[in-house]
Amino acid sequence: MKLPEIHIPIIELPVNNNVKLFMKREDLIDSQISGNKYWKLFFNINNYLEKNPENPFIITFGGAFSNHIAAVSSVGKMLNIPSLGIIRGEELQDKWRDNPTLAFANQNGMNLRFVTREEYRDKEKLTQSLQKEFPDALIVPEGGTNEDAVNGVKMMLNDETKDFDYLCTAVGTGGTIAGILKFSEDNQKVIGFTVVNDSSLENTISELTLKQNFDLIDSSFGGYGKIKDENIRFINDFKERYGIPLEPIYTGKMMQKVFELIEEGYFPENSKILCFHTGGLQGIEGANLLLQKQNRNLIIK
Ligand SMILES: Cc1ncc(COP(=O)(O)O)c(C=O)c1O
């Protein structure tokens, strides 16, 4: 069995301005292997399975609330492949069952191994020792960004997406925007909404794509993983208005910034803007638990 190709429709989000806003809902691919994760894993997994059909085994890395860990564990379950998640933070060893993402990954059959932050940081050393321990395993990097991932993102584009002036995506490690940019038309502008403060992103993206028709716009709203009341209000209003859920780390911040840019007149009149909904909705439950712990009166609906 392999991951199948899936066609995702584009829908219009009516706005009261002189631009046309659309969304491609990659979040609907699968409730758990959602969005960009599916496409970033697509060639990684399918190429590996072609070479190792007998005893496949997948290893990857992630933090406590990682969408990537959730996605890889779901792929493992879907294709009946055992998997191992290397999780940042020894302290989670005794309390991972209270973490919805890790509990979900484990229910999918993913074994979890907890390492210190220091060990986690040295990915090269960690990867080498894992490759020694599991010589035939597929080791997918954190966030799933590699060349196969960038090429998999091509599947998010098609003849319909060529019709847009702007292609918008949230940016973490840069793999998704690199794929969109690499396969975009030269007359299209690709906008990356960065949620992580990482000064090397621009170079990483240029090197992966050799293209320059992109802009990065800071959409961190105070820092990676920080959730402000205004972010929650935006997500809840957006869901009420369009019936589309967003999560607070990537897609919520991107869409909030897109609306700010529309209000500021950033996009010329009659521009056609396409935003990719990159999923990650499994993170809402964990985010709400954190908000509760912080005694915040708001929750993400
Ligand atoms: C929901 C969601 N959107 C966007 C991204 C950004 O993807 P990339 O790491 O390829 O930049 C991520 C990354 O984890 C994500 O989970």
The pLDDT of residue 30: 86
Residues 115 and 88: their CA atoms lie apart, in Å, by 6
The pLDDT of residue 289: 94
Establish whether 66 is a catalytic residue: yes
Q: Which residue among 31, 34, 66, 220 is the active-site one?
A: 66
The pLDDT of residue 31: 80
The pLDDT of residue 145: 82
Residues 35 and 285: their CA atoms lie apart, in Å, by 17
Closest ligand 1 atom, CA of 27?
1
Does residue 144 carry a pLDDT above 80?
no
Q: Which two tokens stand for residue 105?
A: 């990954």
Q: What are phi and psi of 65, to 5 degrees?
A: -115, 25
Over residues 42-68, the pLDDT tens digits come to 999 999 999 999 999 999 999 999 999
Over residues 74-108, the pLDDT tens digits come to 999 999 999 999 999 999 999 999 999 999 999 99
More confident site: 256 or 142? 256
Ligand 1 pocket: which residues have CB below 6 Å?
Answer: 35-36, 67-68, 143, 145, 170-176, 250-251, 278-280
Closest ligand 1 atom, CA of 175?
10
The pLDDT of residue 143: 77
Location of structure tokens 């993913």: 110
DSSP per-residue string spanning 160-200:
GGGG-SEEEEEESSSHHHHHHHHTS-TTSEEEEEE-S--TT
Other C-beta atoms lying within 10 Å of the C-beta of residue 116 = 11
Query: What DSSP element (H or E) covers 204?
Result: helix 201-209
Q: What percent of the chain has pLDDT over 70?
A: 100
Q: Which two tokens stand for residue 279?
A: 């999923």
Does residue 13 carry a pLDDT above 80?
yes
Closest ligand 1 atom, CA of 281?
1
Distance 178 CA to ligand 1 centre (A): 12
Location of structure tokens 């990097």: 141
Pocket test for ligand 1, best of 173, 253, 275 (most atoms within 8 A of CB): 173
Over residues 145-185, the pLDDT tens digits come to 889 999 999 999 999 999 999 999 999 999 999 999 999 99
Does residue 248 carry a pLDDT above 90?
yes
Q: Is 38-144 the same fold as 10-31+147-293?
A: yes
Distance 218 CA to ligand 1 centre (A): 15
Distance 125 CA to ligand 1 centre (A): 24
Class of the CATH-defined domain 10-31+147-293: alpha beta
Domain map (residue ranges) of the chain: 10-31+147-293, 38-144
Pocket test for ligand 1, best of 278, 281, 284, 300 (most atoms within 8 A of CB): 278
Closest CA to 271 of 191, 176, 217: 191
In one-letter notation, the amino acid at residue 218 is: D
Quick one: fold of 38-144?
Rossmann fold (3.40.50)
**pLDDT, averaged across the chain:** 95
- R_g over Cα of the chain: 19
Q: Which two tokens stand for residue 198?
A: 């990482």
Closest ligand 1 atom, CA of 68?
14
Name residue 110's beta-bridge partners. 83
Pocket test for ligand 1, best of 30, 36, 300 (most atoms within 8 A of CB): 36
Residue with CA at minimum distance from ligand 1 atom 1: 280
